[in-house]
Amino acid sequence: MRQLKVFSSLVKDSLDTITHGSKKYHIWMAFLTFIMLVGMYCYSIQLDEGLQVTGMTDRVSWGLYISNFTFLVGVAAAAVMLVMPTYVLKDIDFKQAVLIGEGLAVAALIMCLAFVVADMGGPSVLWHMIPGIGVFNFPNSMLTWDVLVLNGYLFLNITIPFYILFRHYQGKDSNPKVYVPGAILSVFWAVAIHLVTAFLYQGLQARPFWNNALLGPRFLASAFAAGPALIILVLAIIRTFTEFNIKDKTIKKIALVVTVAAQINLIMLFSELFKEFYAPTHHSESAYYLFFGLHGKGALLPWIWTAIPLNILATVLLTFHKLRNNLKVLYFCCFILFVAIWIEKGFGLIVPGFIPGPYGKIAEYTPTGIEIGVTLGIWALGAMVFTVLAKTAIKIETGKLRYKNSQ
Partner 1 sequence: MSNNNKKWFSLNLNSRKKESNTCGCGNASGGCHSNAPKQELSEKEFFDAAVNASIGEERTRDGFDQVFDVKMDRRSAFKKLTASLLIGAGAVSTSCSVITDDETKEKAQIDWEEQFKGNYKLMSDDEKKATVDRLVRSYQLRTGKTISMSSKNAEADVLFGYAFNISKCQGYMDCVSACVKENNQDRSSQMQYIRIHEMKDGKGLSFDEADDNYYHEVPAEGHFYLGTQCFHCDNPPCVEVCPVQATWREDDGLVVVDYDWCVGCRYCMAACPYDGRRFNWSKPEVPENEVNHNQHYLGNRMRKKGVMEKCTFCVQRSRSGKNPACVEACPTGARVFGNLLDPNSTIRWVLENKKVFRLKEDLGTEPKFWYYMD
Q: 3-state DSSP call for residue 21?
A: coil
The minimum distance between CB 291 and partner 1, in angstroms, equals 18
147 is a site residue for partner 1 (CB under 8 A): yes
Please tell me whether residue 353 binds partner 1 under the rule CB under 8 A. Answer: yes
Polymer length of the chain: 407
**CB closer to partner 1, 61 vs 271:** 61
Least Cα distance to 255 among 307, 313, 327 occurs for: 327
By CB under 8 A, the residues from 15 to 74 that bind partner 1 are 49-52, 54, 56-58, 61-62
Q: How far is the CB of 97 from partner 1 (least distance, A)?
A: 35
- The CA-CA-CA angle for residues 378, 118, 132, to 5°, reads 115
- Determine phi and psi for 32, rounding to 5 degrees: -60, -40
If one asks whether residue 144 binds partner 1 (CB under 8 A), the answer comes out as yes
Q: Does 373 bind partner 1 (CB under 8 A)?
A: no
| Span of 23-31, 90-98, 171-179, 198-206 interacting with partner 1 by CB under 8 A | 198-206
- Taking CB under 8 A as the rule, does residue 2 contact partner 1? no
Query: Under a CB-based contact definition with an 8 Å cutoff, are residues 193 and 40 in contact?
Result: no
Q: Is 181 in the site for partner 1 (CB under 8 A)?
A: no
Decide: is 346 part of the binding site for partner 1 (CB under 8 A): no
Residue 330, CB-side half-sphere exposure with 13 Å CA sphere: 25
Question: Is 5 a binder of partner 1 (CB under 8 A)?
Answer: no
CB 347, min distance to partner 1, A: 16
Answer whether 283's CB lies under 8 Å from 208's CB.
yes
280 binds partner 1 (CB under 8 A): no
Q: In sequence order, what are the residues at sequence separation of 6 or more whose Cβ sits closer than 8 angstroms to the Cβ of residue 74? A: 194, 219, 222, 223, 226, 227, 341, 345
* Residue whose C-alpha is closest to residue 304's, from 292, 314, 313, 286: 292
Candidates 38, 45, 113, 129; binder of partner 1 (CB under 8 A) is: 129
For residues 25 and 19, what is the distance between their CA atoms, to the nearest angstrom? 9
Indicate whether 368 belongs to the interface with partner 1 (CB under 8 A).
no
Options 143-151, 174-182, 253-261, 269-277: segment touching partner 1 (CB under 8 A)? 143-151
- Inter-residue contact 145 to 138 (CB < 8 Å): yes
Instruction: Please choose, out of 11-19, 142-150, 169-177, 368-376, the segment that lies near partner 1 by the rule CB under 8 A.
Output: 142-150
**Least Å from the CB of residue 265 to partner 1:** 24
Q: Which of 203, 302, 309, 399 binds partner 1 (CB under 8 A)?
A: 203
β-partners of residue 294 are: 297
- 13-21, 84-92, 212-220, 349-357 -> range binding partner 1 (CB under 8 A): 349-357
- Report, in Å, the least distance between residue 314 CB and partner 1: 31
The least distance separating partner 1 from the CB of residue 49, rounded to whole angstroms, comes to 6
Helix (H) or strand (E) holding 239: helix 215-241
First to last CA, the chain: 17
Do the Cβ atoms of 250 and 116 come closer than 8 Å?
A: no
Contact 6, 379 (CB under 8 A): no
**How many residues of this chain bind partner 1 (CB under 8 A)?**
49
Q: Is the peptide bond before 228 cis (omega within 30 degrees of 0)?
A: no
267 lies in the binding site for partner 1 (CB under 8 A): no
Closest approach of partner 1 to the CB of residue 362, in Å: 8
When binding is defined by CB under 8 A, the residue of 21, 182, 293, 357 that contacts partner 1 is 357
Comparing C-alpha atoms, which of 338, 331, 254 is closest to residue 84? Answer: 254
Contact 234, 104 (CB under 8 A): yes
Instruction: Compare residues 85 and 352 and give the one whose CB is closer to partner 1.
Output: 352
For the four alpha carbons of 304, 307, 308 and 309, in that order, the dihedral sign comes to positive
Shortest distance, position 220 Cβ to partner 1, whole Å: 22
Binding site for partner 1 (CB under 8 A): 49-52, 54, 56-58, 61-62, 116, 119-122, 124-126, 128-130, 132-137, 140-144, 147, 200-201, 203-207, 285, 353-354, 356-361
